Amino acid sequence: MRTVFMGSSDFSLPALKAIYESNHELLAVCTKPPSVAGRGMKLAKNEVYEFCEEHKILVLSPKNLRDEKTLFLLESFKLDVIAVCSYGLILPLNVLNMPKYGCINIHPSNLPMWRGADPIRRTIMSGDKKSAVCIMKMDEGLDTGDVFLKKELDLNDKDSYSLLLSNMAIIGADALIEAMEILSNGTAVYEKQSTEGVSYADKLSSEEEVINWNDYVVSIHNKIRALSPRPGAYFKYLGEQIKILESNYIETSHKHKFGTIIDENLSIACEGGILIPELLQRQGRKVIYRDAFLRGFNVERGIVIS
């Protein structure tokens, strides 16, 4: 099929590679323009942009999809489909209706749960035991389009954001190629999303990065997983911000004040149990395991941290 791919994040790169390596005709890729980054304030290209340059794929990087030159070029391609994955720009109605089979999107949640900007983190933070990668036909709503392919997966309480992101990107890439075959064969069966169970994955706020020891221990553990490795959930000790990037926990009753370090192993009392940090990072330092952290950082038993 004659295809344009739209994607900007690392999550979208496996899908782009899958289309490139398939028998579909990849005519161009739309991605976000290079942005200023680093101390030198140089323009940095995302991985999608770099992949296209390396493989001599036409790159379009409009600031929005109302740019007349971009629209004219897209129209001239006589597209069968536009495949979208973590693009970051809104597709107006004329673009949604442009291809023969419309625009299809890879969404990493069990729709209609976790529509919106940050579905994977919200899935983990909520402690969901199941999720899915959905391929939907896009409409003007926020992830409200009809779904015609869903790949379900089980989750466990060890999955970090980085691990689930990587797994879902691979599942999404495979599902996208399967969906394109379904479209080309004319066998797509569209299913409207349920009006029940709708939830929204709001973008993470900086306040949510702070660990509240009054929260239930499982919720704290889920937050740590959802924010690992970036931006990282943190607490403060002696005025220093310390991130916890991996943890274990024990659900148990206790009489300690929440936030109390109860032993020499940095076990911390929380609502409903004890949190045990495993991977930590001090400000400006490398990520290290708890044993190494404690060898270089004196933590007093009985102190209450914030």
Q: 165-193 in b/e burial notation, b at 16+ Cβ within 10 A?
A: bebbbebbbebbbebbebbbeeebeeeeb
Q: CA–CA distance from 188 to each of 112, 179, 182, 183, 279 (Å)?
A: 19, 8, 6, 6, 45
110 is in an annotated binding site: yes
Structure tokens at 37: 């980054």
d(CA 27, CA 70): 13
Sign of the C-alpha dihedral, residues 242, 245, 247, 251? positive
| Amino acid, single-letter form, for residue 19 | I
227 is in an annotated binding site: no
298 is in an annotated binding site: no
119 is in an annotated binding site: no
Binding-site members are 109-112
Binding-site members for (6S)-5,6,7,8-tetrahydrofolate are 109-112
